[in-house]
A and B are shown apart, each in its own frame.
Chain A
């Protein structure tokens, strides 16, 4: 790991359920598979053990963790020591708003069944751990355009074909 990888940026973002099921993970710093699993397990334990009224920030390893629970889902970001905690908390909120707007009152199931969409929306919003655009309109416009492209080039298929039985 080189020095420069330690610049100020988000290290990773995780979405997991109350039951400790990982729903989405985005890593902004090259991390080995083994290390990722270990970190996810460890951090989930720490966060799930916390009580509702506790503060949304905690020190974990050499990082600061900012998390917030929305219904059954925890949204959790790891940032560097110098980064702004509150703005990261709102970054989570903005992402939830984007999901909500896109899916129409989003729930955990939407994210499970459309996980790729959840990734696409996150990617429009954040890139390499930094905010790309904070405007809700810009982000959603980009996603909707992509959906339009998708509908155009999707040819109709029979149900059987869809299920891989054709």
Chain B
């Protein structure tokens, strides 16, 4: 029976709830519910009109059933009817039902909106409160459209009751979050800022929430809130614990408001000196209070006090400008590291992570290393240990890397499964980043594989191979070490992969030692063969053929293995094909050819570690990667790491088996080739011939390569089995020059080789391209070059198409790719100060001048990479302009023959959501549009 039934009399509801609770089984409960649903349905459908009370009761029952986890598909209309009741309780239940059950795209919104409109106009504060609550709960676009204009008026009207003001502020905040474009800025904003001075602390609290969110998007408009917030905060922190009466929480004056004010201040850079002094005083007071004896033993007291303290520390870190405060904050957190409250230890570890990245406090953070290592060993809660790992990672530098890496490795032996992979990635990154001695690096990674082989992802072992291949000082050591590691009777398959790869490349460096003679190396690897999965076996087969080249003396042994039925007739097509082809290669090819085909791997181009990318991704929002992402990541890896031979089956279908042998997906960029052989008066290429109909459909994948060239000028634009097209280009003002290199990858000549540049009718008036024809014959293995002179006449959107036709063997080949000549190539960077930037930004506030795009990050969100891309895009990267240091701001001028167009851009990453917002402002809509499109595709 009901324990309490206060001020209420829906006994039918209480009886129903009791019945449900008395049900002995799930089936009985469902039966009872179905009976009730049938009853309610018949009441709602019945001829007899229901009175308000019954309607309320039934709607309330439906709500209860819904909260039990059952679906409710009727009753919405009755709930909407309750909204127009004059009885408060009926209205209240109606609104509750709607806020719990109606989602934002319901068809009923129009009816609901009508009821809300009436209640807002009623001037009855209780009704207004209910209506505002409902708007905030549903918060749909339709609601924003209907009320976003109205609510600011309610908020700032002189005669609005305080409680309604509070509701209105938070309601507006919610609408702003869902549909900021529908909330008009205007005179009301300055009046909202002044609510920070309101007498009623409840109003101030609600207003601060609203202002904080508005200020994030419109920092200029709400700049005056800074000094008001500081003085409010100062009044709170200096007040005696009883001054604020009901807003004092366990002897802490207004903790919620304090936290919110400190948060608001984090939207801005450190304020002007006058205000700054006062703020520093506040922050010092907060830090001092932490040292005072507690006014109460209750945990609520210390929690509230420390909530304010942590927020103050966040602000100190955000400003990152007062070394004194930073070090004090660090010391305070150091005390918390040893606190008996788990919560505080957790938060201290978390906060210190951000402190570690400030140059002022990095050293101070490092002094706590022993405590943090101890936490890793003794904390009983995995989420706390996780924070300790994060902090060790953040505080790591060259001086303490060996210790931290060693501790992480030893922790890994017993670490929770849930965090092993992340620790593996972190160790791998630190070992690489701080390796002075690459033998240490190799040892560390092999240890990783030994301790936690299952958690070592492909990125990690690709990377160790990349590094060994690029650094010849470590190759002998690596070969010796993997050879020794492979001696273990049971070793992880990842070790076999690394061992197979390294010995295949560098086994010769240790073959002089009779203990690791070629035959011993081979036998050792082959003893693991049968225990391995297909991809590893495929990799080992490649190692064997490399051995044939390195060590002619083991050739017969290896040929025997390749020739065995278990290889040649293997059920797996990949293994079978490798065995057949390698056996054939070892038989037919001369030593010279073999040596050329199986030449040592060329160094990998230096680029961002794919492990780092992986860690960033792991730390990102969705732990569940969808297929699309995985695919994308894969395609990145093709360029970022040595795609192991086994993974690329498509390459096996190339005419020559050599293509796959080296197991390298990344092709080195085309070197500058010899000048085109002159003479033989080849075909004249008509650059502007309108031969679009004869053009082949754009080559698959060319879109991707195209996007890659938006921020860079050199590289491989296109490659298939026959042809490689490389580019080198330079641009100055409105002119440019592009060198196109056509490489014949086959041993047969290309005849009638005709590249054509095509500008569509739309593009032609805006872009001038001039070039000379190339020699129509391209010898096998040769490369020819073509120069294109470019002139940008006026801004343009489309890209020209490069269409190539030639005869190869008996067949006619046709390739078309978009040529990456894009508007941003004619950018000249412009440096400017913050003030100038915002002044210009404001001048370009006409809606047609601004184009904005919000999109999901397609690549890991890395600050350095983003900076490089913005610079590569051509604009200047302006530091210390945006109040939020996480944002990027750029400026530049697009040069065309006819005019120059100033461009401002702002990129706001949201790591949490893995999204970006890009805003472009230029004097010309089409330019804003095109630049926004181009740049959006880069992240």
Binding site for B on A (CB under 8 A): 2-9, 22-25, 28, 30, 32-33, 37, 51, 53-59, 61-62, 80-82, 84-87, 89-91, 93-94, 102-104, 107, 109-110, 112-117, 119-120, 123, 127-138, 142, 145-147, 149-151, 153-154, 157, 159, 162-164
Contact = CB atoms under 8 A, between A and B. Distances in A.
A30 B7 contact: no
A15 B382 CA distance: 24
Given A104-B4, A114-B5, A132-B170, A93 B256 contact: no
B410 to A, nearest CB: 24
Interface in B164-187: 166-167, 170-171, 173-174, 176-180
A163 B166 contact: no
A1 B12 CA distance: 40
B304 A90 contact: yes
B206 to A, nearest CB: 6
B917 A3 contact: yes
Contacts of A127: 132-133, 136, 166-167, 170-171, 174
Contact of B133 (A55, A109, A115, A123): A123
Nearest to B206: A132
A117 B88 contact: no
A119 to B, nearest CB: 6
A120 B11 CA distance: 19
14 contacts: A3-B854, A5-B178, A30-B104, A54-B383, A55-B346, A59-B383, A62-B913, A81-B911, A93-B303, A113-B17, A117-B8, A127-B133, A147-B6, A150-B7
Contact of A149 (B5, B89, B623): B89
A135 B247 contact: yes
B157 interface: no
A6 B913 contact: yes
A6 B911 CA distance: 11
Contact of B89 (A51, A54, A123, A153): A153
A57 B310 contact: no
B202 A134 contact: yes
A149 B126 contact: yes
Interface of B: 2-12, 14-15, 17, 21, 39, 53, 60, 63-64, 67, 69, 71, 87-89, 92-93, 96, 99-100, 103-104, 126, 129, 132-133, 136-137, 139-140, 163, 166-167, 170-171, 173-174, 176-180, 201-202, 205-206, 209, 212-213, 216, 246-247, 249, 254-257, 259, 263, 300, 303-304, 306-308, 310-311, 342-343, 345-347, 380-381, 383-384, 386, 620-623, 854, 910-913, 915, 917
A57 B87 CA distance: 42
A57 B383 CA distance: 8
Contact of A84 (B14, B89, B174, B310): B310
A113 B2 contact: yes
Nearest to B915: A3
Given A3-B915, A127-B167, A137-B246, A89 B201 contact: no
A86 B306 contact: yes
A86 B343 contact: yes
A8 B93 CA distance: 29
A146 B133 CA distance: 15
A116 B96 contact: yes
Contacts of A62: 620-622, 912-913
A146 to B, nearest CB: 6
A164 B12 contact: yes
Contacts of B308: 87
B912 A4 contact: no
A160 B308 CA distance: 55
A128 B137 contact: yes
B213 A8 contact: yes
Given A2-B179, A103-B3, A136-B246, 8 more contacts: A30-B139, A55-B346, A56-B342, A57-B347, A61-B622, A110-B3, A110-B4, A131-B209
A90 B209 contact: no
A4 B307 contact: no
B69 A37 contact: yes
Contacts of A107: 3
Contacts of B347: 57, 85-86
Contacts of A30: 103-104, 139-140, 178
Contact of B342 (A55, A61, A93): A55
B143 to A, nearest CB: 11
A146 B178 contact: no
Given A61-B623, A134-B249, A114 B126 contact: no
A131 B137 CA distance: 14
Contacts of B100: 119
Contact of A55 (B173, B174, B384): B384
A51 to B, nearest CB: 8
B8 A114 contact: yes
Contacts of A24: 67
A25 B99 CA distance: 11
Given A146-B126, A163-B15, A57 B209 contact: no
Contacts of A112: 17, 21
Given A3-B910, A116-B93, A163 B12 contact: yes
A164 B92 CA distance: 22
A144 to B, nearest CB: 8
A9 B174 CA distance: 9
A57 B346 contact: yes
Contacts of A120: 92, 96
Contact of A4 (B21, B171, B177): B177
A134 B510 CA distance: 73
A133 B277 CA distance: 30
Contacts of A33: 71, 103
B4 A2 contact: no
A89 to B, nearest CB: 6
A132 B303 contact: no
A133 B177 contact: no
A90 B303 contact: yes
A84 B4 contact: no
Nearest to A65: B383
B300 A22 contact: no
Q: What are the 7 closest A-B residue pairs judged by CB atoms, nearest first?
A: A62-B621, A86-B307, A128-B174, A147-B7, A87-B307, A162-B11, A133-B202
A129 B93 CA distance: 20
B140 A135 contact: no
A81 B620 CA distance: 11
A134 B89 contact: no
A32 B9 CA distance: 33
B172 to A, nearest CB: 9
A130 B8 contact: no
Contact of A133 (B39, B179, B205, B306): B205
